[in-house]
Chain A
């Protein structure tokens, strides 16, 4: 299954993310965001960071998760490239992300993402699993 694809959005970047379940959907959404930010190909690293997030709805949980990772990218200078969502419900998650410092990988950086937006955000479930369209402000 494809993890994500871009869809045309005039001003910003739109991605359509897929997952068999919510866990995979959230992992793939995080991967999509960092894949837009930087070239992740062959990236290895030993930074491990744990996250625990609560939110009123699954859509808000998704934005909080992405924004938390983005905050760490900008303030701790970590490129995350692998994500393990260990527990997830519609209102909370526990996850671990793996990354490496930006410092030695500056040439990998691509697009500055300002934030994951809530615009028209809706997590949909159908026969083949979960799907969500996210617009990133860039």
Chain B
């Protein structure tokens, strides 16, 4: 049982005295109601375990959607000082490298879509490959695949899947620099083959939503959003390619721990200095997987736009399906911070956490320089999702915020709770149409399996590490 000391209404400290070997304290963002859930499993211990890793700066952080993962908790953030032997850990990035989410606006109103909602959901379900090991229609030769891993979203846009301006509104413009296709093994290529443009399974989804409430009219206006408008959300990652990259580098890193004299409390946190051959190789491969994921979400958005055009008999101009933003929530980035008056290059790990750059940040597109970076936080398929923006105060979390609701029930407990019930009927009674390819996915993903995203968002908003812009409500959902 971990001792969580209250710092203020939204922050809790795990003192480094909790476990011998912690280099810094842990800090968890949560409110009183959540803290009991957090105490009840191993998530807090995983925050403490991250604090063991060499070069960690300030504290081991967890966002309010924290839950028990593998190695690091989901919702975990850690920054490592590269000059001071700071590490990179494949397990702390996670298997689904650049699992992430994008939000697309439309010019449609809820009432325009309602009569055609079922057709739209069926259309998305039919035209977008999803489910265990699904394969896509987009075939890429081996030499082109290497280009895709370097160019990310741009490669797919150049091949007809989307528009040039989509890149402007994607984190890193859909291609993080430093991707090295030579560091991706033939097995990883093989596992990722033919999976571009596929959704995946489990918690990956496409969701048609409508805006229920606006919190900041001015910023919503900049994004071209108003109450009653229909949006589309896409959640997917790097598919088999990313899983294989993480798997192979985790294995390699366990085997070189003694070489760098690093002790980890859990093998899953195996790591190597950023400035080692192993660290550089992993970053080269991880960035390829990240770019693959951006390309994948770009393909998925393109396929979804075509479904909307086909079902609603409307052209792209009238539909106005512009990308608001695309954010990664499982990724490692090299970012510059001012630490105690000194400029430092830090290796920032976000595992189930979203980057949230403040207004004026140089990495943001011009249109968002004043608003701050859009932050997309999906909830479960029965409640809400949110659009927020980054703030200056988030410097204290290395410009990171929550990424979702966070699970409350295990998958088996959810399936148990779903026995004898039809989740799709229950949701349909509430006006939400859902379809899924996995037999047990709907039960696993049922609303009560998740924490209430409204509480998660109220913590990040209350703590000031991001600011609410608007809230969406689901209308139609496709699950993998």
Give residues in A with beta carbon < 8 Å to B: 6, 8-14, 37, 56, 59-60, 63-64, 67, 71, 73-75, 77, 102, 107, 109-112, 114-115, 117-121, 135, 137-138
Does A114 contact B243, Cβ atoms closer than 8 Å? Answer: yes
Say yes or no: is B407 at the interface (Cβ < 8 Å to chain A): yes
Contacts of A118 in B (CB 8 A): 70-71, 91, 250, 254, 266-268, 270
Nearest residue (CB) in B for A14 is: B410
Give the docked Cα–Cα distance between A126 and B240 (Å).
37
Q: How far is the CA of A35 from the CA of B478 in the complex (A)?
A: 25
Cβ-defined contact, B200 with A111, below 8 A: no
The answer on a CB contact under 8 Å between A8 and B412 is yes
CA distance A71 to B188 in the complex (A): 9
Q: Which among B74, B191, B251, B407 is the interface contact of A71 at CB below 8 angstroms?
A: B191
Assuming the contacts A8-B410, A114-B95, asked whether A109 and B438 have C-beta atoms less than 8 A apart, the reply is yes
Q: Give the total of B residues in contact with A, Cβ under 8 Å.
A: 48
B408 touches A112 (CB 8 A): no
User: Is A6 touching B247 in the complex (CB atoms < 8 A)?
Assistant: no
Give complex CA distance A137, B96 in Å: 9
Q: Are A11 and B254 in contact (CB under 8 A)?
A: no
A112 touches B413 (CB 8 A): no
Q: How far is the CA of A14 from the CA of B251 in the complex (A)?
A: 20
A77 touches B133 (CB 8 A): yes
For B42, B91, B133, B250, the residue with the greatest tally of chain A CB atoms inside 10 Å of its CB is B133
A73 to chain B, nearest CB (A): 7
- With A60-B254, A115-B243 as given contacts, are A13 and B133 in contact (CB-CB < 8 Å)? no
15 contacts between A and B (CB under 8 A): A11-B67, A12-B69, A12-B411, A13-B411, A56-B255, A109-B133, A111-B132, A111-B444, A112-B202, A115-B246, A117-B71, A118-B91, A118-B250, A119-B267, A120-B42
Contact among A6, A60, A111 with B202 in the assembled complex (CB-CB below 8 Å): A111
Q: Please tell me if the beta carbons of A138 and B91 are within 8 angstroms of each other in the complex.
A: no
- Chain A nearest Cβ from B437, distance in angstroms: 9
Tally of contacts, chain A with chain B, CB under 8 A: 114
Q: Does B463 contact A (CB under 8 A)?
A: no
A14 to B42, CA, bound (A): 13
Give B96's nearest chain A residue, CB to CB: A114
Are B270's CB and A9's CB within 8 A? Answer: no
Contact A117 B413 (CB under 8 A): no
Write the chain B residue with the least CB distance to A107: B439
Cα–Cα, bound, A6→B412 (Å): 8
Please name the residue on chain A nearest to B204 by beta carbon: A112
Q: Which residues of B contact A75 (CB under 8 A)?
A: 187, 190-191, 193
B268:A117 contact, CB within 8 angstroms: yes
Given contacts A111-B202, A112-B132, A118-B91, contact A10 B70 (CB under 8 A): no
Give 1 or 0 for each of B166-187: 1 = CB within 8 Å of chain A CB.
Answer: 0000000000000000000001
A8 with B201: CB separation less than 8 A:
no
Task: Report the minimum CB–CB distance from B61 to chain A (whole Å).
Answer: 18
Whole-angstrom distance between the Cβ of A41 and the nearest chain B Cβ: 13
Residue pair A10, B68 in contact (C-beta under 8 Å)? yes
Question: A37 touches which one: B132, B266, B409 (CB < 8 A)?
Answer: B132
Contacting residues, chain B, for A12 (C-beta < 8 A):
69-70, 411
Residue numbers in B under 8 Å from A110 (CB-CB): 132, 438-440
Q: How far is the CB of A66 from chain B (nearest CB, A)?
A: 10
Distance A64 CA – B187 CA, assembled complex (angstroms): 14
Are B70 and A119 in contact, CB atoms less than 8 angstroms apart? yes
